[in-house]
Amino acid sequence: MEKPTLERIDERLSNLITDNSQEHEQILAQTTKTNGKVAEISKTQERLTGALIAINVIVLPVVIGVIINWLTAKL
């Protein structure tokens, strides 16, 4: 086994830095894409929550009132 030289060590370190930079760029791109999808899902979830609150506060009491009036008229 031959003894490593400074040139060989420098070459390996340069390759390592280049590989690390490329991997970092790929990870950053994927993270940005994933964060965008998560933000869309969060907005949709907030809209659905608001719609459910509106239904429970406005629509449901009206439906219950109509059913109660209909039942009292039938009895």
Q: 18-44, pLDDT tens digit by residue?
A: 888 889 999 998 998 888 889 899 999
How many residues are listed for the chain in this entry? 75
Distance CA 34, CA 30 (A): 6
Q: pTM above 0.85?
A: no
Q: 46-68, pLDDT tens digit by residue?
A: 999 999 999 999 999 999 999 99
For residue 64, which of 52, 75, 56 has the smallest C-alpha distance? 56
Write phi, then psi, for 3 (nearest 5 degrees): -75, 135
User: What's the pLDDT band for 1 if we cut at 50, 70, 90?
Assistant: low
**Which residue type occupies 10?**
D
Distance CA 59, CA 74 (A): 23
Q: What is the pLDDT of residue 65?
A: 95
Residue with tokens 């894409």, as numbered in its chain:
33
Tokens of 26: 């790929």
